[in-house]
Amino acid sequence: MTITAEKLKANGIGLVEFGAGQPDFPTPEHIKKAAIEALLQNFTKYTPTGGIRELKQAIVERHAKDFGSDYKTEECLVTPGGKYAIFEAIASTIDHGDEVILPAPYWVSYPHMINYVGGQAVLLETQENENFALCASAVEKLITPKTKLIIVNSPNNPTGAVVPPDEMNKLLALAVQRHILLMSDECYCHFLYDGRKPFSLGVSKNRENLLIVGSLSKTYAMTGWRVGFALGSAQLIANMLKLQSHSTSNATSFAQKGAVEALLGPQDSIGSMLAEYQRRRDRIVAGLRAIPDIRCGLPEGAFYVYPNVAVYLKRNKLTSTAALAERLLERVRVAVVPGAAYGTSDHVRISYATSQEQIDEGLRRLRAFLYTF
């Protein structure tokens, strides 16, 4: 879908892009300046594989300030993007035949990573009529002697569902009791709506059963910079470092300097982005709910909506949301992502990390298309 969308754009065709999983905001100026300054100072060589000390310090300090955690720098690893931290964690933890409990809908890359290392993803289907809430007691039912890892992603990509702190604590207690690692993907942790406060399980001070994975990509609009991190036990971090040492090596040197500024400099860009995302969320949810036969919950975080379009599939004898997404792209030039990528068959993911004008135009085209469909 992305490739087709790119081709259309290159041919000057007016596309409404609801597919992209990245902020449309530019990286804040002060962060860009720090990276430029680093380049000018010739900070262009290899760095220590696990990241410069200054950045590890900035990561643990920021996390401590925001969430009350107390990680040390040897419990921190800087990775080329949060995605690679997740891959390293899975590859360091999972052997052939091990099971990973993965709540669905899930972020698209988790099952592929699990498969790649020979693990088995055990899906826990969260329910649309419960706003995709994740419940520790449902996780518990899926634990077997082969379970090595539980993955939790809150706020969730693609649903925007948020796991409340008390349920998060129950999940961690379960992991402790059953000697399992819980990986908490905090990639969207600052984007919570309706006054919800950012929360991290890092506050628990648990090391043995908890790995935090984070990213600067969404928080500071730095997707292309490729800077992410992991916080966890010194042993697991050391294992992940070995993998990194023989695969990618360090995150880009001057991007790391920009990341230090992002974490220690002014934080107001997060609040402005959040306020704008909330306005867009309200607009797109209201617009989608006004279209007959579309069901759409209210996301509590991140910047995606995950409407149910099953009625349109059935009425038009379409076998998948991919077929619907293709027609949307061909006929009205609107790009969305079919829900199959996230483990469900009745939904499409719409990213509202785009301007309010684009949202209005996209809704207009969607309405016109579905009316005739």
Ligand X SMILES: Cc1ncc(COP(=O)(O)O)c(C=O)c1O
Could you tell me which of 318, 195, 196, 242 has the C-alpha nearest to residue 79?
Answer: 242
Residue 120 within binding range of ligand X, rule CB under 6 A: no
Yes or no: say if 102 and 121 are a contact pair by the CB < 8 Å rule. yes
Stretch near ligand X under the rule CB under 6 A, chosen from 66-74, 76-84, 165-173, 340-348: 76-84
Question: Looking at 69, 92, 154, 215, which residue binds ligand X (CB under 6 A)?
Answer: 215
Q: Which is nearer to ligand X, 93 or 217 (CB)?
A: 217
Residue 21 within binding range of ligand X, rule CB under 6 A: yes
| Whole-number Å distance between alpha carbons of 305 and 299 | 6
Name the token pair of 167: 């349920």
Question: Looking at 23, 28, 111, 228, which residue binds ligand X (CB under 6 A)?
Answer: 228
Number of residues forming the site for ligand X (CB under 6 A): 13
| Whole-number Å distance between alpha carbons of 39 and 371 | 53
Those residues whose C-beta lies under 8 Å from the C-beta of residue 271, and which sit 6 or more positions away, are none
Strand partners of residue 372: none
Residue 82 within binding range of ligand X, rule CB under 6 A: yes
Q: Which is nearer to ligand X, 21 or 287 (CB)?
A: 21
The Cα-based distances of 86 to 9, 89, 153, 182, 214 in angstroms read 32, 5, 11, 12, 9
Question: Looking at 47, 157, 209, 256, which residue binds ligand X (CB under 6 A)?
Answer: 157
Q: Which is nearer to ligand X, 31 or 366 (CB)?
A: 31
Residue 81 within binding range of ligand X, rule CB under 6 A: yes
Stretch near ligand X under the rule CB under 6 A, chosen from 38-46, 59-67, 81-89, 130-138: 81-89
Question: Looking at 67, 71, 87, 107, which residue binds ligand X (CB under 6 A)?
Answer: 107
**Least CB distance to ligand X at residue 249 (A):** 16
3-state secondary structure 81-111: CHHHHHHHHHHHHCCCCCEEEEEECCCCHHH
Stretch near ligand X under the rule CB under 6 A, chosen from 6-14, 54-62, 79-87, 329-337: 79-87
Yes or no: say if 110 and 151 are a contact pair by the CB < 8 Å rule. yes
Could you tell me which of 214, 222, 198 has the C-alpha nearest to residue 23?
Answer: 222
Question: Looking at 187, 241, 305, 328, which residue binds ligand X (CB under 6 A)?
Answer: 187
Question: Looking at 92, 217, 250, 308, which residue binds ligand X (CB under 6 A)?
Answer: 217
Name the token pair of 105: 């809908």
Range 190-209, binding ligand X (CB under 6 A) = none
Question: Looking at 17, 75, 167, 185, which residue binds ligand X (CB under 6 A)?
Answer: 185
Q: Which is nearer to ligand X, 103 or 297 (CB)?
A: 103
Range 26-45, binding ligand X (CB under 6 A) = none
Q: Which is nearer to ligand X, 185 or 294 (CB)?
A: 185
Yes or no: say if 178 and 147 are a contact pair by the CB < 8 Å rule. yes
Report the run of H or E that residue 183 belongs to, with start and end.
strand 181-185
Angle at alpha carbon of residue 285, lines to 366 and 337, rounded to 5°: 55
Q: Which is nearer to ligand X, 301 or 307 (CB)?
A: 301
| Whole-number Å distance between alpha carbons of 167 and 17 | 34
Residue 159 within binding range of ligand X, rule CB under 6 A: no
Residue 261 within binding range of ligand X, rule CB under 6 A: no
Amino acid at residue number 27: T
Residue 83 within binding range of ligand X, rule CB under 6 A: yes
Amino acid at residue number 281: R
Q: Which is nearer to ligand X, 214 or 287 (CB)?
A: 214
Q: Which is nearer to ligand X, 161 or 332 (CB)?
A: 161
Could you tell me which of 194, 198, 133 has the C-alpha nearest to residue 161?
Answer: 133
Q: Which residues bind ligand X (CB under 6 A)?
A: 21, 81-83, 107, 153, 157, 185, 187, 215, 217, 223, 228
